[in-house]
Amino acid sequence: MTVAATKRRERTFEIRVRFEPGLGASLYASLKSGEVAPLTVTRTLGRGRTLLRFQGYTLMANGAPDWKPGETFPVYVKHLGPPLVLARVGDRSQTGASSVTTVDSAVVPGYEERSS
């Protein structure tokens, strides 16, 4: 007997990145619409707050799904903005998705990844 595990479909999400004056301007300027890059969950802070790493920048996400530290997934630049909107690559084909989790985020000033 063979048992196939069914993977639960993750919710569709969009990450809306806002930039405070002087923060992340070079990231914003370097992106192109439709560009694909990895996004990594670096730390969960509780209450839906998560630190994400994208293109060398740390983003503070509010309202994040139940992501785990170390998870990496490809996202694409859906809209250059403002705000900049990133979406998971697999969500591209889902037009008219019934529910989209909106994750508000901003570039974190002065936060550096520290390796042990």
Confidence class for position 62, pLDDT limits 50, 70, 90? confident
Nearest Cα neighbor of 87 from 16, 27, 9, 14 is: 14
Q: Tokens for 74?
A: 């490809």
CB count within 10 Å of CB 78 equals 18
- In angstroms, the first-to-last Cα distance of the chain is 46
List of domains in the chain: 12-107 (2.40.50)
Residues 80-96 pLDDT 10s:
877 888 998 987 554 54
State phi, psi for 24 to the nearest 5 degrees: 75, 10
Q: Across all residues in the chain, what is the average pLDDT?
A: 76
Q: Which pLDDT score, from 0 to 100, does residue 98 have?
A: 42
Q: Are 8 and 80 in contact (CB under 8 A)?
A: no
* Greater pLDDT, 19 or 103: 19
Residues 36-46 pLDDT 10s:
999 999 999 88
- The count of residues in the chain is 116
The percentage of residues in the chain with a pLDDT greater than 70, rounded to a whole number, is 68
* Greater pLDDT, 92 or 20: 20
Q: List, as one string, the DSSP characters of 46-60.
A: ETTEEEEEETTEEEE
